[in-house]
């Protein structure tokens, strides 16, 4: 997908921050953000979480790249390209508040999470960065519609490195909301919840998706 995909996924992570806080707010609260000595723990937790996103993106990029090595790869490439841009359109509509249809994707990861969730208890309550980092690694696999939808874009990356980069961009977008939760979160949430901010950002992501779909249609006409 075009380099605009990095910007789009960063915006999705940033503007979907209230959803992320809802999913991870309990853990973030448990790390007691706001105490100066706890900053290292929060950085470690979020580093682990983003590392898991990047790993998932690398796997998706490798899977997408492997599928392009098959005979008759052009139809596969076009299908993945359209899938990624359709997901950008869906994410854009989600950010504008037009639809909540992405919730169904969270059911896809329940099987894996049932096996990972018990492991998180080993690191709770987290009192050190050494406990917070693996906790973040595990919590990064929590079923989340935003994460899975962003992951669909990584399928078109063509390589593990690019797939990891796309998901890292998404993870960095989620970072401000979670890192500042409990201290500046009220102000940040107030900003990201403003209808005009969500509308403009959602339309921007939607525009990236529509632009990609238009490019795909032009490509099909030239075949």
DSSP symbols for the chain: --THHHHHHHHHHHHTHHHHHHHHHHHHHHTTTTSGGGHHHHHHHHHHHHHHHHHHHHHHHHHHHHHTTSTTHHHHHHHHHHHHHHHHHHHHHHHHTS--GGGGGGGGGHHHHHHHHHHHGGG-S--SHHHHHHHHHHHTTS--HHHHHHHHHHTTSSSHHHHHHHHHHHHHHHHHHHHTTTTTHHHHHHHHT-HHHHHHHHHHHHHHHHHHHHHHHHHHHT-
List the chain domain ranges. Answer: 4-36+54-105+141-221
pLDDT in tens, the chain (223 residues): 446 678 878 887 887 665 565 566 556 656 654 444 467 888 899 999 999 999 999 999 998 888 766 655 667 667 777 777 777 777 677 666 665 666 666 677 788 889 998 998 898 888 888 998 999 999 999 888 778 878 888 887 878 999 999 999 999 998 887 777 645 544 455 555 566 666 766 676 677 667 666 765 655 665 5
């Amino acid at each position: 997908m075009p380099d605009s995909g990095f910007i789009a996924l960063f915006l999705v992570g940033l503007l979907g921050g209230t959803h992320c806080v809802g999913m991870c707010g309990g853990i973030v609260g448990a790390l007691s953000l706001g105490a100066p000595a706890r900053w290292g723990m929060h950085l470690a937790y979020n580093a682990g979480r983003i590392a898991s996103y990047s790993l998932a993106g690398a796997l998706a990029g490798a899977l997408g790249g492997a599928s392009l090595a098959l005979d008759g790869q052009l139809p596969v490439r076009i299908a993945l390209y359209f899938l990624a841009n359709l997901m950008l359109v869906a994410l854009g509509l989600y950010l504008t508040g037009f639809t909540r249809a992405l919730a169904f994707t969270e059911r896809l990861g329940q099987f894996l999470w049932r096996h990972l969730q018990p492991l998180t208890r080993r690191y709770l309550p987290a009192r050190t960065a050494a406990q917070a980092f693996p906790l973040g690694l595990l919590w990064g696999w929590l079923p989340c519609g935003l994460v899975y939808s962003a992951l669909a874009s990584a399928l078109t990356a063509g390589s593990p490195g690019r797939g990891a980069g796309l998901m890292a961009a998404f993870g960095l977008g989620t970072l401000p909301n979670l890192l500042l939760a409990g201290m500046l979160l009220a102000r940040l949430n107030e900003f990201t919840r403003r209808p005009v901010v969500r509308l403009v950002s959602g339309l921007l992501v939607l525009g990236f998706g529509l632009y990609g779909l238009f490019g795909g249609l032009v490509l099909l006409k030239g075949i």
